Structure 1
Amino acid sequence: MRNTLIFAGSSCPGLTDAICSNLGMASASVELSKFANGETSVKILTSIREKDVFVVQSGSSKINDSIMELLILISACKGGSANKITAVLPYFPYSRQSKKKSHRGAITARMLANLLHVAGINHVITIDLHASQMQGFFKCPVDNLHAEPLIARWIRHNVPNWREAVCVSKNAGGTKRVTSLADALKLNFGMVTTDRKRGAVPMTSSMIMNGLDGTGDDLDLNSDVSKLHISERSGHGHRREPSKLQLDTEDIEDQEPEDNSPEVTTPPRPARVEVAQSPRHAPNNPSPLKKSHGVTTPTRSPLHRAETMPARLPQLDDDPEYTDERAREVIHGRLVQGHIVPDDYPSPTQSAMSTSMILERPEDDPMEISRASSFFNPDRLGGSADAAASSDEEEEGFNNPETEQMITLVGNVRDRTVFIVDDMIDKAGSWIAAAETVVKRGGAKKVYCIATHGLFGGNSLEEMEDCDCIDAIVVTNSFPIPMERSRAAKKLVILDLSNLLSEAIRRNHYGESISALFQHVVD
């Protein structure tokens, strides 16, 4: 490609060389070094004036050094009068910090997008952002490519009997990604969820409010509603005696005179039963009254309408959808330190969110009492909280030997191959727990752990390698994995992204559409 230069960062030189080889060109000359105090130095050794420049740099184990090197390299290209600067980021750094996880948290992914804009970026090419909404952080166009077609192609060529497999999400937040792959392969899908609040359930805000409103009282809908009289309250909270014109609800409507006669036969007043006033009959919205032939009567109560409705519960017995087979697809298990344990395994000393954690409150400081209560628990942020916990939050309970968790498998995986899919593998706890659940509880035959980005923090790769329930670990080369670790892992399979990225660079340079890169091509 004419007037095009591709610069390789220090994080993924092998991937950059493969991209340049596919495009039939060599990477541009650049000198990357550090001063004695650790500062990054970048020196471009070729002319970049009016050239189309692509900088390939991914996240790595030295993530902050990679970011500073990328920013300095972009700034140097901008100062060298480059025509267009495109950052190729196979793994976007800090992508998991794309939202506030606490009241004083930082949206670091947005800050990094602003830094790239200030450095002089004109375009961004990345693969499988942790949250696709992150594209709105940038002030330049973003091409968020997907590794799903590459993964689906590998499955079709390398997994025996893949048509009978099941795609499983290891948490509720990854269901959209899993269902997308399941739809592409025309497979069934399931989900594994971990309950971090197993044990004694604390009193929540809804329980408190229901108790204050009086809505928690049990009402017998099968009682004779014609003998039920709901007393009204005045605006100041004082109870008013019923008027002489307030007659029985059911009898007065059933005995309306047909000849417009002023005489109305009034049945004897039944015994009055006072019931706590519900929010639907609040003082500012009194019970509606109905005028009929000069007599004001209350309308039928909601309880009477509920009683006169035809019963539909017996019809459920004839419905084939509600069978025991569907209930068998939900399987529960116990987790202690991230591993499945038998049902008769002794329970730890405390369970997650136990009552002892709530009752142990300081008696002096009222603020500490409020902070310790479940009503003001920071884990319950109301509408700002997420439906699913992040990977780091899932790992918290796995490290505590005194915490027991409950894990639930939804879906039938018995005697089938299971694909556990997510966007990245950082820690091994949630992956091992999901694999043990589908094998030991669900009865699966084989388990493939599939992700786009293989971060493998700490000893997670070795832990997954030692797990007997995991048969293969499939990732791409978006994140550099040391050669010695990849060779020692016999279950690890690394897919090459160079063809996808090189085609994206070529189409971007010539102004062609990249829609074809999102399509699944069946060989």
Structure 2
Amino acid sequence: MRDLIVLGGSSLPTLTRLICRNLTLEKSRVEQKKFSNGEISIEIKDSVRGKDVFIIQSGCGHVNDNFLELLIMISACKTSSAKRVTAVLPFFPYSRQPENPKVAMEHRESVAAQGYLASLSAKSKTLATNDAGIDFLGEVDENGRDNSGYKQWVSQNGTVIAKLLMTAGADRCITMDLHDPQFQGFFDILVDNLYLTPLFKRYIIDYVPEYKDCVIVSPDSGGAKRATSIADSLGCSFALIHKERKIKVEPAGLGSPVLRASESVMSTNATTINSSMLVGDVKDRVCVLIDDLADTCTTITRAALVLKEAGASYVLCLVTHGIFSGDALEKVLISDIDKFVTTNSIPQAEHSRFLGEKRFEVLDVSRIFAEAIRRINNGESVSMLFDHGW
């Protein structure tokens, strides 16, 4: 490999070490400091002049600090006359943000273990950009309007993140399983979105007994394309869980039905009812839930409950990025998921200790990223990784 330098941020030291081991090279030395006022200082110990630099950093943990650290490292390498700087982001930051208020974050209240499973089918929705804003903004209807009729607006962060990376000097980006593949359109530089589908298919073939009889399940309509591609390639059945949100309005009084209909949208008597409907036959069969990320884990645990109620014998969950924010781990622990499998695109050591090794498994993606780095450095095609993994 010609003039290849691999730098690692503070978010993924283990994955960075594994990638370097697959590339049979030493990780370049970077000294990262944080002053008492919170400012970040980066000092690159090795020369990057005329080198092909790859910086590995993920959008997990302290997301904003990690992202700013990445920007400083990119700028430092460009200032030091690096030939090319590639940002390797296994989990892309800010790629999962609600585009409109009706895709609002759920109110994260701590739920007792005894009453949680009963509450999975109906939880109140609130609009929130962060935990502090939950009580301030209040409830919205399916059109994103609150009781006053005002439609809340949510900022679009995709273009900002892309411009920051390009302005810092990134020449290329490598990521994996973007929540929205159209996110690549915000960039004016090359973005390689690697897929974990080949690795998931290999896992199902190797570890699911009589895998052709299992059912590949998408927990929502957004992941149907990903799940159907795996099901078709393996010759398995496919099922879909459809989430339906209905607004139930109690009549406020007498008057014109037309006027009452227009007033009821903003009525305080309107309640949102959530229901999940299974499309497909899963009775007495092994079900494999496929999703790109697990954040609050509400969708995935509700899907497991629906599958078990429909007669599924075993529920295996395959997720690319296991974020597990808030009380997500507690939800998984008391859910109907028999085994949860994710990758080390996000550090999983604490999550594995909490759930136990028998119920929680971590797949290594270092070989995929190492092969992508090797091919880009040698000027080879990366498209082979989309179909075969490595």
Alignment TM-score, normalising by the size of structure 2:
0.80
Q: Paired residue for 1:515? A: 383
- Tell whether 2:279 aligns with 1:410: yes
Q: Paired residue for 2:341? A: 474
Q: Paired residue for 1:389? A: none
Q: Paired residue for 1:39? A: 39
- Tell whether 2:297 aligns with 1:432: no
Which of residues 354, 366, 369 in structure 1 aligns to 2:248?
354
- Tell whether 2:351 aligns with 1:485: yes
TM-superposed CA distance for 1:404, in Å, is: 4.8
Q: Paired residue for 1:135? A: 184
Please say if residues 90 and 175 of structure 2, whose CA atoms lie closer than 8 Å, have aligned partners that are also in contact. yes
For 2:63, the aligned partner's letter is I
* In 2: Cα distance, 1:157 partner to 1:428 partner: 26
Which of residues 161, 170, 176 in structure 1 aligns to 2:210?
161
TM-superposed CA distance for 1:25, in Å, is: 0.5
Q: Paired residue for 1:251? A: none
Q: Paired residue for 2:85? A: 85
Once the two structures are overlaid, the 10-residue window that deviates more, 159-168 or 11-20, is 159-168
Compared CA separation, residues 463 and 99, structure 1 to 2 (3 A): closer
TM-superposed CA distance for 1:370, in Å, is: 10
User: Structure 2 matches for 1:256-335, cutoff 5 A?
Assistant: none
Please say if residues 162 and 187 of structure 2, whose CA atoms lie closer than 8 Å, have aligned partners that are also in contact. yes
Compared CA separation, residues 370 and 67, structure 1 to 2 (3 A): farther
For 2:189, the aligned partner's letter is C
Compared CA separation, residues 71 and 359, structure 1 to 2 (3 A): farther
* In 2: Cα distance, 1:479 partner to 1:359 partner: 50
CA deviations on 1:27-77 (whole Å, 9 max, x unpaired) are 111111111100111111111111100000011121111110001110111
Please say if residues 248 and 273 of structure 2, whose CA atoms lie closer than 8 Å, have aligned partners that are also in contact. no
Compared CA separation, residues 122 and 98, structure 1 to 2 (3 A): farther
Q: Paired residue for 1:454? A: 322
User: Structure 2 matches for 1:50-61, cutoff 5 A?
Assistant: 50-61=50-61
Q: Paired residue for 1:392? A: none
TM-superposed CA distance for 1:164, in Å, is: 0.4
Which of residues 288, 308, 318 in structure 2 aligns to 1:419?
288
Please say if residues 2 and 378 of structure 2, whose CA atoms lie closer than 8 Å, have aligned partners that are also in contact. no
User: Structure 2 matches for 1:116-195, cutoff 5 A?
Assistant: 116-195=165-244
Please say if residues 295 and 328 of structure 2, whose CA atoms lie closer than 8 Å, have aligned partners that are also in contact. yes
* In 1: Cα distance, 2:273 partner to 2:166 partner: 46
Q: Paired residue for 2:110? A: none
For 2:228, the aligned partner's letter is T
Please say if residues 52 and 509 of structure 1, whose CA atoms lie closer than 8 Å, have aligned partners that are also in contact. yes
Q: Paired residue for 1:71? A: 71
For 1:148, the aligned partner's letter is T
Please say if residues 165 and 416 of structure 1, whose CA atoms lie closer than 8 Å, have aligned partners that are also in contact. yes
CA deviations on 1:237-275 (whole Å, 9 max, x unpaired) are xxxxxxxxxxxxxxxxxxxxxxxxxxxxxxxxxxxxxxx
Q: Paired residue for 2:130? A: none
Please say if residues 424 and 455 of structure 1, whose CA atoms lie closer than 8 Å, have aligned partners that are also in contact. yes
Please say if residues 427 and 458 of structure 1, whose CA atoms lie closer than 8 Å, have aligned partners that are also in contact. yes
Please say if residues 169 and 190 of structure 1, whose CA atoms lie closer than 8 Å, have aligned partners that are also in contact. yes
* In 2: Cα distance, 1:484 partner to 1:407 partner: 31
* In 2: Cα distance, 1:66 partner to 1:153 partner: 32
Compared CA separation, residues 99 and 405, structure 1 to 2 (3 A): closer
Q: Paired residue for 1:496? A: 364
TM-superposed CA distance for 1:152, in Å, is: 0.9
* In 2: Cα distance, 1:359 partner to 1:111 partner: 45
In our comparison, the structure showing a higher alpha carbon Rg is: 1
For 1:354, the aligned partner's letter is K
CA deviations on 1:143-179 (whole Å, 9 max, x unpaired) are 1000110111111111112110111111112111111
CA deviations on 1:72-107 (whole Å, 9 max, x unpaired) are 110111111100000000000011127455663222
Give unmatched runs, 5+ long, in structure 1: 198-352, 361-368, 378-401
For 1:439, the aligned partner's letter is K
Please say if residues 98 and 154 of structure 2, whose CA atoms lie closer than 8 Å, have aligned partners that are also in contact. no
Q: Paired residue for 1:196? A: 245
For 2:352, the aligned partner's letter is S
Give unmatched runs, 5+ long, in structure 2: 102-143, 145-151, 254-259
* Aligned-pair Cα RMSD in Å: 2.3
* In 2: Cα distance, 1:196 partner to 1:424 partner: 22
* In 2: Cα distance, 1:425 partner to 1:509 partner: 32
Q: Paired residue for 2:122? A: none
For 1:470, the aligned partner's letter is I
Please say if residues 184 and 520 of structure 1, whose CA atoms lie closer than 8 Å, have aligned partners that are also in contact. no
Q: Paired residue for 1:289? A: none
TM-superposed CA distance for 1:521, in Å, is: 7.7
Identity percentage over the alignment?
A: 43
CA deviations on 1:101-152 (whole Å, 9 max, x unpaired) are 5663222122101100000000000000011111111110111000110111
Please say if residues 99 and 156 of structure 2, whose CA atoms lie closer than 8 Å, have aligned partners that are also in contact. yes
Please say if residues 195 and 389 of structure 2, whose CA atoms lie closer than 8 Å, have aligned partners that are also in contact. no
For 2:294, the aligned partner's letter is I
Please say if residues 98 and 108 of structure 1, whose CA atoms lie closer than 8 Å, have aligned partners that are also in contact. no
* In 2: Cα distance, 1:53 partner to 1:143 partner: 16
For 1:413, the aligned partner's letter is V
CA deviations on 1:300-337 (whole Å, 9 max, x unpaired) are xxxxxxxxxxxxxxxxxxxxxxxxxxxxxxxxxxxxxx
Number of aligned positions between the proteins:
331
* In 2: Cα distance, 1:473 partner to 1:162 partner: 17
User: Structure 2 matches for 1:190-229, cutoff 5 A?
Assistant: 190-197=239-246
For 2:281, the aligned partner's letter is N
For 1:473, the aligned partner's letter is F
User: Structure 2 matches for 1:334-353, cutoff 5 A?
Assistant: 353=247
TM-superposed CA distance for 1:406, in Å, is: 2.5
For 1:66, the aligned partner's letter is N
Compared CA separation, residues 170 and 87, structure 1 to 2 (3 A): same
Alignment TM-score, normalising by the size of structure 1:
0.60
Please say if residues 2 and 377 of structure 2, whose CA atoms lie closer than 8 Å, have aligned partners that are also in contact. no
TM-superposed CA distance for 1:2, in Å, is: 3.1
- 2:380 is paired with a residue whose SS is coil
